Chain A
Amino acid sequence: MTTATRTGHAPPAPLRARRPLRPARVVLHVFLAAVAIGWLFPILWAVLTSLRSYEYTAVHGYVSLGGWTLDNYLTAWRTAEFGRHLLNSVYITVPAVLLTLLLASCVAFVIARFSWKANLVLLGLFTAANLLPQQALLIPLFRLFTQVPLPAFMSDSELLYDSYWGLILVNVAFQCGFCVFVLSNYMKALPRDLYEAAMVDGASIWRQYWQVTMPLCRPALAALATLEVTWIYNEFFWATVLMRTGDKFPVTSSLNNLRGEFFTDNNLVSAGSVLVAIPTLVIFFLLQRQFVRGLTLGASKG
């Protein structure tokens, strides 16, 4: 675009609105459309299926139209008790995200602002933990959790196992690595002068962290919070293996309630999946900007 202005004899802006249609451009757009449809197709298919009655699709097959109904949504909501399980998801997600961000920002602050020998090792440790396959830790964690007692007022299981506390801890532990990595890179990019000025004014370390760094990190924290809410909300594995009481399952695990012992109504499961996906979609559309920023955050070191 700028090349036109540089050559000097570019026509005024309104006149150069249409560019000639080149084959490469056509190919590009066909490709983009195909990819977009490829990504959207499963979701649209699920939505379409969820709006049709099982009786109709059983007779006419899924490649047909008709049998429209909203009953699947009502049934899914009721049989899988999504109301209760969504609340369970909130119990796990909200504290886990807040705790992750708090702890990660503390570590990131130290890594970014103080130069001491273990700095790189510390960052490496947190990042490496990210690469560890979670499933490999199942047995040790499971045994650990069945050995750690909790007082009865914290969990009726009286153990870390089968308690919200345990799930929150697991999620915090697994998400901290990524957040530390992102936040420390972000904090390193903050101007040093600020801290020098703060120190001259006699601000303590805590103050430098809480009142100087944290407000400046707001965009990074917002982006991370968006990502983390989605990830922790979507988390399914730990919630299935470290929970024993069906009523305490978060909404992702309780989606299984829609599968029958012998018979699974796929239309009903589709409706349930759409319901479960809605909160993530809402978060995404509300905080789209943060979301996209979150993806590139920490990619470059300021």
Chain B
Amino acid sequence: MSRPRSHAEYLSRLVPPSVAGLRRRSLLAGAAGGGVLLGTGLLAGCGDADPEGSGSTTVSLGSNQSDPKPKEVTAKVMDGFRASSGITVAVNTVDHNTFQENINNYLQGKPDDVFMWFAGYRMRFFAGRGLAADLSDVWSGLSGMSDAFRKASTGDDGKQYFVPSSYYPWAVFYRKSVWQQYGYQVPKTLGELTTLAAEMKKDGLSPIAFADKDGWPAMGTFDILNLRINGYQFHIDLMAGKESWTSGKVRTVFDTWRGLLPLHQPDSLGRTWQEAAQSLQQKKSGMYLLGLFVAQQFRDDEQDDLDFFTFPEIDPAVGAKALDAPIDGYMMARRPKAEDNARKLLAYVGSKAAADIVVKNDPSTLVANSEADTSGYTALQRKAAELVGSATEIAQFLDRDTRPDFASTVIIPALQQFIREPADIDGLTTSIENQKKSIFTD
């Protein structure tokens, strides 16, 4: 398929222009066919054979939490909702990747009343297309949500479309035992980080574990360098296509990265992040910049040995307070079948009660609600929560903060090319800028 010429054309491909008309027509067809469908639209409930009349005690939820543990936690949260409200949630679980790839179809077809999604550009995009419902009234009843989370839940029109439930930060992870053994100290500046890495090299470790076979892990490195060098606002503007990739600012990012590359594990393009994480776990690498999910590669008895620090300061004027912490949460379909119940469910998943259930059952995630009882957190979780709590700005990760086509078709190959040939920064940034212009055209 050729690349769309304009922003409008791109959008029109994602959302067929006839969708609005389609809905009207299908409603008419529904009315002619049964009459029943007219009042409720075509957004019938999922999974249960309940007649329309009993819709008052059910609500449907599209879930991408297909991994066994999160799936179980979701079920427990929904049980909690039923216990407190008497409303049964019909959970439609679709595996995480399929859900994400199908989201366009899903939202235009017949989505569940409430569905799980991500904060950031990906949320604003669908909110802007009118495929998600305004949740400002749910937000007015929520307590314990920080301003950073409110900001991350707000669409371009200033209304909230998203209820955050959990998140995880990106940071530099290491094994305490290894650092104690060699007497390493947490670096506070880029200079200290380079010195530390050189020391690690001398001690026979790969200083920084690194992998980019899947394409996305290197985005984390780019993001954090960009946030440290140019700050949060530049990150957002760059991702929105407003800033130029050929600017000196971006070049500095790549330049700094080039200086750090020799300290990274070599041949990273043939390595998955699991393998890189295992090199950390096997004490072959000194540290690894990744999300909190790196802990999945560690055995239960090794969890306490895992620690992290936020990426050190590069420019004192910018500081080291911003970071990537992707937020997962819930949204409501544009025309839910059981709207009242959907709003109740959304208020519940954002509440302290739901957060408490998550904390009690899942050690690999952090909950968004600050009033939640976090005494069940592991030391690592508590530290991660503090880190994000003290963050001045929370970015959502490169591919969640920009257009999906830009992230996957331009940035992934570009970063991989940079890792292969770090010398040609000019050529690289020019190429990204040219491709950006053909994608962000308005």
Instruction: Note all chain A residues with C-beta closer than 8 A to B66.
Output: 246, 257, 261
Asked whether B274 lies within 8 Å of A143 as measured between CB atoms, the reply is no
> B interface, by DSSP: helix, strand, loop or mixed?
mixed
Kindly state the separation between the CA atoms of A256 and B95 in the bound complex, as whole angstroms.
6
Asked whether A146 lies within 8 Å of B109 as measured between CB atoms, the reply is yes
Q: Known: A147-B22, A147-B29, A263-B293. Is A256-B278 also a contact (CB below 8 A)?
A: no
Q: Counting CB contacts under 8 A, is A240 at the interface?
A: yes
Q: Counting CB contacts under 8 A, is A161 at the interface?
A: yes
Instruction: Note all chain B residues with C-beta closer than 8 A to A119.
Output: none
Interchain CB contact (< 8 A) of A261 among B16, B42, B96, B274 = B96
Instruction: Note all chain A residues with C-beta closer than 8 A to B62.
Output: 244
Asked whether A245 lies within 8 Å of B68 as measured between CB atoms, the reply is no
Binds B, one of A151-159, A202-210, A216-224: A151-159
Asked whether B49 lies within 8 Å of A156 as measured between CB atoms, the reply is yes
Asked whether B97 lies within 8 Å of A259 as measured between CB atoms, the reply is yes
Q: Counting CB contacts under 8 A, is A260 at the interface?
A: yes
Interface residues of B in 34-56 (CB under 8 A from A): 34, 37, 42, 44-49, 51
Q: Counting CB contacts under 8 A, is B25 at the interface?
A: yes
Q: Counting CB contacts under 8 A, is B318 at the interface?
A: no
Measured CB to CB, the closest approach of chain A to B109, in angstroms, equals: 5
Q: Counting CB contacts under 8 A, is B98 at the interface?
A: yes
Q: Known: A245-B46, A247-B92, A259-B95. Is A240-B102 also a contact (CB below 8 A)?
A: yes
Kindly state the separation between the CA atoms of A240 and B102 in the bound complex, as whole angstroms.
8
Interchain CB contact (< 8 A) of A156 among B26, B42, B45, B98 = B45
Measured CB to CB, the closest approach of chain B to A25, in angstroms, equals: 41
Instruction: Note all chain A residues with C-beta closer than 8 A to B46.
Output: 156-157, 162, 244-245
Q: Counting CB contacts under 8 A, is A39 at the interface?
A: no
Q: Known: A142-B105, A143-B22, A149-B37. Is A158-B44 also a contact (CB below 8 A)?
A: yes
Q: Counting CB contacts under 8 A, is B33 at the interface?
A: yes
Q: Counting CB contacts under 8 A, is B93 at the interface?
A: yes
Asked whether B291 lies within 8 Å of A262 as measured between CB atoms, the reply is yes
Measured CB to CB, the closest approach of chain B to A49, in angstroms, equals: 15
Measured CB to CB, the closest approach of chain B to A248, in angstroms, equals: 9
Measured CB to CB, the closest approach of chain A to B57, in angstroms, equals: 16
Candidate in B33, B48, B66 with the most chain A CB atoms within 10 angstroms: B66
Interchain CB contact (< 8 A) of B48 among A156, A240, A249 = A156
Instruction: Note all chain B residues with C-beta closer than 8 A to A69.
Output: none
Asked whether B106 lies within 8 Å of A244 as measured between CB atoms, the reply is yes
Interface residues of B in 290-340 (CB under 8 A from A): 291, 293, 296-297
Interface residues of A in 236-258 (CB under 8 A from B): 240-241, 244-247, 249, 253-254, 256-257
Asked whether A262 lies within 8 Å of B42 as measured between CB atoms, the reply is no
Annotate B270-282 by CB proximity to A: 1 below 8 A, 0 otherwise.
Answer: 0001100010001
Instruction: Note all chain A residues with C-beta closer than 8 A to B297.
Output: 263
Interchain CB contact (< 8 A) of B67 among A59, A240, A260 = A260
Q: Counting CB contacts under 8 A, is A21 at the interface?
A: no
Q: Counting CB contacts under 8 A, is A139 at the interface?
A: yes
Kindly state the separation between the CA atoms of A22 and B109 in the bound complex, as whole angstroms.
65
Instruction: Note all chain A residues with C-beta closer than 8 A to B111.
Output: 244
Q: Counting CB contacts under 8 A, is A288 at the interface?
A: no
Asked whether B278 lies within 8 Å of A58 as measured between CB atoms, the reply is yes
Kindly state the separation between the CA atoms of A247 and B49 in the bound complex, as whole angstroms.
14
Instruction: Note all chain B residues with C-beta closer than 8 A to A146.
Output: 22, 26, 42, 108-110
Q: Known: A58-B278, A156-B49, A157-B44. Is A149-B33 also a contact (CB below 8 A)?
A: yes
Q: Counting CB contacts under 8 A, is B187 at the interface?
A: no
Interchain CB contact (< 8 A) of B44 among A79, A156, A253, A259 = A156
Measured CB to CB, the closest approach of chain A to B53, in angstroms, equals: 12
Measured CB to CB, the closest approach of chain A to B54, in angstroms, equals: 13
Q: Counting CB contacts under 8 A, is B30 at the interface?
A: yes
Asked whether B296 lies within 8 Å of A262 as measured between CB atoms, the reply is yes
Instruction: Note all chain A residues with C-beta closer than 8 A to B49.
Output: 152, 156
Kindly state the separation between the CA atoms of A26 and B303 in the bound complex, as whole angstroms.
59
Asked whether A149 lies within 8 Å of B96 as measured between CB atoms, the reply is no
Asked whether A159 lies within 8 Å of B42 as measured between CB atoms, the reply is yes
Asked whether B26 lies within 8 Å of A256 as measured between CB atoms, the reply is no
Q: Known: A156-B44, A157-B44. Is A263-B22 also a contact (CB below 8 A)?
A: no
Q: Counting CB contacts under 8 A, is B180 at the interface?
A: no
Interchain CB contact (< 8 A) of A240 among B70, B92, B98 = B98
Asked whether A157 lies within 8 Å of B110 as measured between CB atoms, the reply is yes
Asked whether A244 lies within 8 Å of B109 as measured between CB atoms, the reply is yes
Annotate B95-136 by CB proximity to A: 1 below 8 A, 0 otherwise.
Answer: 111100010011011110000000000000000000000000
Q: Known: A156-B49, A246-B94. Is A261-B25 also a contact (CB below 8 A)?
A: no
Asked whether A149 lies within 8 Å of B29 as measured between CB atoms, the reply is yes
Kindly state the separation between the CA atoms of A208 and B420 in the bound complex, as whole angstroms.
70
Instruction: Note all chain A residues with C-beta closer than 8 A to B105.
Output: 142, 241, 244
Kindly state the separation between the CA atoms of A58 and B51 in the bound complex, as whole angstroms.
50
Could you list 24 examples of A-B contacts with CB < 8 Å?
Answer: A142-B109, A146-B109, A152-B49, A156-B44, A156-B47, A158-B37, A161-B110, A240-B98, A244-B111, A245-B46, A246-B66, A246-B93, A246-B94, A247-B47, A247-B92, A247-B93, A253-B98, A256-B97, A257-B95, A259-B96, A261-B96, A261-B293, A262-B291, A262-B293
Residues of A within 8 A of B (CB): 58-59, 79, 139, 142-143, 146-149, 151-152, 156-159, 161-162, 240-241, 244-247, 249, 253-254, 256-257, 259-263
Inter-chain pairs besides A161-B109, A262-B291, 11 sampled, C-beta below 8 Å: A59-B278, A142-B105, A147-B26, A147-B29, A152-B51, A244-B94, A245-B47, A246-B93, A256-B98, A261-B66, A262-B296
